Amino acid sequence: MEHYNMNLTLKVWKQKNSQDKGRFETYQVKNISSEMSFLEMFDVLNEELIREGKEPIAFDHDCREGICGMCSMYIDGRPHGPWHANTTCQLHMRAYKDGDTIVVEPWRANAFPVIKDLMVDRNALDRIVQAGGYISVNTGNAVDANAIPVEKDKADASFAAAACIGCGACVAACKNSSAMLFLSAKVSHLALLPQGGPERKSRVLNMVAQMDREGFGACTNTGACEAVCPKEISISNIARLNAEYIGAGLVSEK
Amino acid sequence: MQWSEFFTSSVGKKFVMGLTGLFLIAFLVVHVGINATIFADLFDPTENGAMFNKAAHFMGATVLIRIMEIGLFAGIILHLVQGYMLEAKNRSSRSVGYAVEMGNKGSKWYSRSMGLLGTIILLFLVIHLAHFWVKARITHTLAPVTYNGVEMHDMFTEMKMVFSQSWVVIVYVAGCISLAYHLAHGFQSAFRTVGVHNKKYNRILTNLGLCFAVIVSVLFALMPIAMFLKWVE
Ligand code: HEM
Ligand code: SF4
Ligand code: FES
């Protein structure tokens, strides 16, 4: 693809802290290379702002290679921008042309309070995982990896669910701010494997309870989550989660 | 886990939505089947609603069906109370909205409008019950008709009278359109909500749901239209 430079207008959400009301600020960025990433374009803008003695724009990022789940920009009405199965850090400026205006907002959900500008607090997702998104193993010698047979189809489905990077785009996209795609990925990942068996029931019950405590909405199966998920987590996982929860919740003897 | 804990969780509440939704779908099958007997008139003009009147009489006179009717009302009330509670919870989960909405990028408008569509269905339902159910089952203010010595309500004539008013026909057709969209999403969603996660079956259920939504709604809508336009007399 041919290289080109562009000038852009950015409308970016600025907010001092979680108490501040926040507002949009408009910035002009010049000479942006089509080969830059979206976050590199923000780096260029921030360096410019620092040079001018202004406050740079705060945004989350870490790996910049689509695997950590830290980047989180809601770009022109879509979490992670216009590309399918993509993270903000892997969005490249060739998606835009000279003269474009781009509106950038933080993830919006009461469970994700804004820390500053485009950074939101996603610890709620970590607390959901802490409530049961793990398996307990005894220490000692490592067991041979192939000692427990796993059906190929289940191993594949578990692996696909395990690809979730916990970015929260599903929550940001959902009209209900529901974390069900995230939760269903974490639950399916372990429920499909024999290693997840012993804690299977308590896991799903505790994780759903934590999700409800965090103030996420309920799922109405609209599919917006699946459409924006950078890891293409399937919405079928949500139906599996429902089955896991109903099974665990209704047959318990207590 | 206590039942109270299960049914107050988000997934438990959705389970109730899904179950009551499926129950209402089952009711619709019976309802549309019985009412479609008004179209017998198209094939035999001397029929004059006899088949339909007898079917309606059977539904009203059978104790078991009257008991199921109570279950039906309970189901509707549970469905809409739970539906509005979930809708309120879901709306309050995002106090600060987006400047640029996602809109139809990734989801269908009707899947995001279940509360609105349900509300239109509810408004229709109130008018609909006042037209027929109240008169037939509570106040018994319908003209009588006798078949083989058995006296019963002439529901068919009542229908023709009600559906001679154009505003009624418009309200009914609007109700049917809302129902079509509510079910276009709701049918498959309900199965997912109660835990059906096999991708093959989900695909079949989605298509089945679309067919069901269209067929049932069109059949229902044709009833007031056919009577208003005097196809069925
Ligand atoms: C009386 C007025 C009605 C209202 C206010 C209403 C409201 C709602 C709402 C708000 C939902 C979305 C709930 C959610 O997904 O969390 C819903 C779902 C649903 N409704 Fe209704 N509804 C009404 C009537 C009906 C009727 C008459 C039927 C059936 C024939 C029906 C079938 C369904 C189904 C199948 C679902 C999907 C359940 C799910 O997603 O799990 N509804 N309804
Ligand atoms: S399910 Fe997808 S969108 Fe949601 S947190 Fe995981 S990777 Fe991100
Ligand atoms: S910065 Fe790690 S996924 Fe984008």
Contact between chains at A242 and B197 (C-beta distance less than 8 A): yes
CATH number of this structure's domain A123-252: 1.10.1060.10
Q: What is the mean pLDDT of residues A227-253?
A: 94
Distance between CA A214 and CA A201 in Å, rounded?
A: 20
Q: Which residues make Cβ contacts (< 8 Å) with residue A121, sequence separation at least 6?
A: A18, A112, A113, A114, A115
Candidates A205, A217, A242; nearest CB to B1: A205
Per residue in B37-47, pLDDT tens?
A: 998 888 888 88
Q: Do strands A101-105 and A5-14 pair parallel, antiparallel, or not at all (unpaired)?
A: parallel
- Pocket residues: Cβ below 6 A from ligand 3: A 61-64, 66-71, 87-89
Which pLDDT score is estimated for A254? 67
Per residue in A150-207, pLDDT tens?
A: 999 999 999 999 999 999 999 999 999 999 999 999 999 999 999 999 999 999 999 9
| Structural Rg of chain A based on CA atoms | 21
Q: Of residues B88 and B50, which shows the higher confidence score?
A: B88
* pLDDT surpassing 90 at residue A33: yes
- Helix pair B50-61, B155-162: axis angle to 10 deg: 110
B93 to chain A, minimum CA–CA distance in Å?
Answer: 6
Per residue in B198-219, pLDDT tens?
A: 999 999 999 999 999 999 999 9
Q: What is the mean pLDDT of residues B27-43?
A: 91
Residues 113-172 of A with CB under 8 A from B: none
Which pLDDT score is estimated for B24? 96
Interface test with B, best of A10, A221, A244, A250 (most B CBs within 10 A): A221
Which pLDDT score is estimated for A114? 97
Indicate the pLDDT class of residue B171, thresholds 50, 70 and 90.
very high
ipTM of the complex: 0.92
- Count how many residues are written for chain B: 233
Per residue in A72-123, pLDDT tens?
A: 999 999 999 999 999 999 999 999 999 999 999 999 999 999 999 999 999 9
Asked if A213 reaches chain B (Cβ–Cβ under 8 Å), the answer is no
Query: What's at B20, amino acid-wise?
Result: T
Distance between CA A23 and CA A44 in Å, rounded?
A: 22
Q: Do strands A114-116 and A78-79 pair parallel, antiparallel, or not at all (unpaired)?
A: unpaired
Mean pLDDT, chain A, whole residue set: 95
The residue nearest atom 7 of ligand 2, judged by CA position, is A164
The alpha carbon of A170 and the centre of ligand 2 are apart by a number of angstroms equal to 5
Residues 124-183 of B with CB under 8 A from A: none
Q: What is the mean pLDDT of residues B63-68?
A: 90
> Among A152, A248, A149, which residue's Cα sits nearest to residue A198?
A248
Other CB atoms within 10 A of residue B129 CB: 14
How is chain B split into domains, by residue range? 3-92+108-228
Distance between CA B29 and CA B7 in Å, rounded?
A: 28
Mean pLDDT, chain B, whole residue set: 93
Asked if A85 reaches chain B (Cβ–Cβ under 8 Å), the answer is no
Contact between chains at A218 and B90 (C-beta distance less than 8 A): yes
CA dist list (Å): B168 to B14, B121, B124, B158, B161: 33, 14, 10, 13, 10
Cβ(A114)–Cβ(A106) below 8 Å = yes
The residue nearest atom 3 of ligand 3, judged by CA position, is A66
Cβ(A61)–Cβ(A39) below 8 Å = yes
Which pLDDT score is estimated for B84? 96
Distance between CA A163 and CA B140 in Å, rounded?
A: 63
Other CB atoms within 10 A of residue B61 CB: 11
Distance between CA A188 and CA A162 in Å, rounded?
A: 8
Candidates A78, A178, A243; nearest CB to B195: A243
CATH 3.40.50.300 assigned to A5-115: no
* pLDDT surpassing 80 at residue A252: no
Query: What residues pair up with A6 in beta bridges, in sequence order?
Result: A32
Q: What is the DSSP letter of B194?
A: T
- For residue B18, the chain A residue with the least C-alpha distance is A220
CATH number, domain B3-92+108-228, options 3.40.50.720, 1.20.1300.10, 3.30.230.10, 1.10.260.40 = 1.20.1300.10
Cα of first residue to Cα of last residue in chain A, in angstroms, is 63
Distance between CA A208 and CA A187 in Å, rounded?
A: 10
Indicate the pLDDT class of residue B1, thresholds 50, 70 and 90.
confident
Per residue in B136-145, pLDDT tens?
A: 888 888 888 8
Across A136-150, A237-251, B61-75, B93-107, least confident range = A136-150
Cβ(A60)–Cβ(A119) below 8 Å = yes
For the whole model, what pTM was predicted?
0.93
- Helix pair A200-213, A180-191: axis angle to 10 deg: 170
* pLDDT surpassing 80 at residue A1: no
How is chain A split into domains, by residue range? 5-115, 123-252
